[in-house]
């Protein structure tokens, strides 16, 4: 029985570490952009508190090595996440997050450890710390409930990643089996509830995954239809423009082919006046020549 619980505990360690490493992609994006954007720091701060207390619980509990190791690794990773969040968060968010870290991860954790070691009787330490840890674990498993509500409301699984839901489901199931084998109710109760909530998440994901796909296909068809309508409207506009241009072009040539009566008549009238003026001028010159010849003849006579 001890060997079976150890094997199950090892499997639980592996799955839990996969859950703990899931935010690596998120924080690599934070470091790359040097901004936390719209990400919230509260889940990582709360998870840091939870893993820290579970590590303390595993160290106090006889045979709790596997609990201590997996949560010790989780504490290390969550500490890195919280540190990166504090570095890249906006000033106002950074101040609020630092206050939460001071209250929860330093103040509350230090208070629980101090009271457990100095005030609470040794026989009650595991009960007190185990109850607190179970409550925090329930909060971790219940946190996706908001995402489930969003999925049902929007009928889309976009806001509920399948991998996280699947690993929470496996994590709750494996640690539930481990708790039954080692008879640890503080580990078992929150993980059994977590296994149930994880199962519910997967059912909802399966229900709305098909609806999301069909909705996307409908939206794609609507977009394509809109694109065809827009394209058709553009082509009609272009066709109308071409026809309009051709009509204007024909009218322009037609206008050019018509006789310009007013201009032609005006130019003809100017030519007649010019001709008449030239003829009058030449006649006057002829008259003057005749007069001069007559005068010369008289003088010679």
Distance CA 293, CA 200 (A): 135
pTM exceeding 0.85: no
Residue 285 lies in a domain: no
Residue 41 lies in a domain: yes
- Look up residue 182 and give its two tokens: 């080692």
Burial 3-31 (b: 16+ CB within 10 A, else e): eebbebbeebbebbbebbeebeeebeebe
- List the pLDDT tens digit at each of the 301 positions of the chain: 568 888 999 999 999 998 899 889 889 989 999 998 878 888 899 899 999 999 999 999 998 999 999 999 999 999 999 999 999 999 999 999 999 999 999 999 999 999 999 998 888 999 999 999 999 888 877 766 767 888 888 888 776 777 777 888 898 999 999 999 999 999 999 999 889 988 888 888 888 887 655 554 444 444 544 444 445 544 445 444 545 545 544 554 544 444 444 444 445 445 444 444 444 444 444 444 443 444 444 444 4
- Look up residue 280 and give its two tokens: 């009058």
Residue 237 lies in a domain: no
Cα separations (Å) of 152 from 20, 103, 123, 196, 216? 26, 35, 46, 18, 16
Contact 36, 93 (CB under 8 A): yes
Range of the domain at 209: 2-221
| Strand runs labelled E in the chain | none
Question: How many independent structural domains does the chain possess?
Answer: 1
Residue 281 lies in a domain: no
Distance CA 97, CA 91 (A): 10
């Amino acid at each position: 029985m001890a060997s079976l619980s150890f094997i199950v505990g090892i499997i639980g360690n592996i799955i839990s570490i996969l859950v703990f490493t899931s935010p690596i992609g998120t924080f690599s994006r934070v470091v790359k952009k040097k901004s936390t954007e719209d990400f919230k720091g509260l889940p990582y701060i709360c998870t840091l508190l939870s893993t820290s207390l579970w590590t303390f619980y595993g160290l106090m509990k006889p045979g709790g090595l596997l609990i201590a190791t997996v949560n010790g690794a989780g504490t290390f990773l969550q500490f890195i996440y919280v540190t990166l969040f504090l570095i890249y968060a906006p000033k106002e968010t950074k101040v609020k997050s630092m206050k939460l870290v001071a209250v929860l991860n330093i103040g509350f954790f230090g208070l629980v450890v101090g009271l457990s070691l100095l005030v609470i009787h040794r026989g009650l330490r595991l009960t007190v710390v185990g109850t607190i840890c179970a409550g925090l674990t329930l909060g971790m498993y219940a946190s996706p409930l908001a995402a489930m509500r969003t999925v049902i409301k929007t009928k889309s699984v976009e806001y509920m990643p399948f991998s996280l839901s699947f690993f929470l489901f496996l994590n709750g199931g494996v640690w539930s089996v481990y708790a039954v084998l080692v008879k640890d109710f503080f580990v078992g109760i929150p993980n059994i509830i977590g296994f149930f909530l994880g199962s519910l998440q997967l059912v909802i994901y399966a229900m709305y995954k098909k609806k999301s796909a069909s909705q996307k296909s409908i939206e794609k068809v609507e977009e394509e239809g809109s694109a065809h309508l827009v394209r058709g409207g553009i082509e009609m506009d272009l066709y109308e423009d071409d026809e309009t241009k051709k009509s204007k072009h024909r009218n322009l040539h037609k206008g050019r082919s018509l006789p310009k009566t007013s201009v032609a008549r005006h130019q003809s009238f100017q030519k007649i006046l010019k001709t008449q003026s030239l003829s009058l001028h030449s006649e006057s010159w002829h008259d003057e020549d005749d007069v001069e010849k007559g005068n010369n003849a008289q003088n010679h006579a």
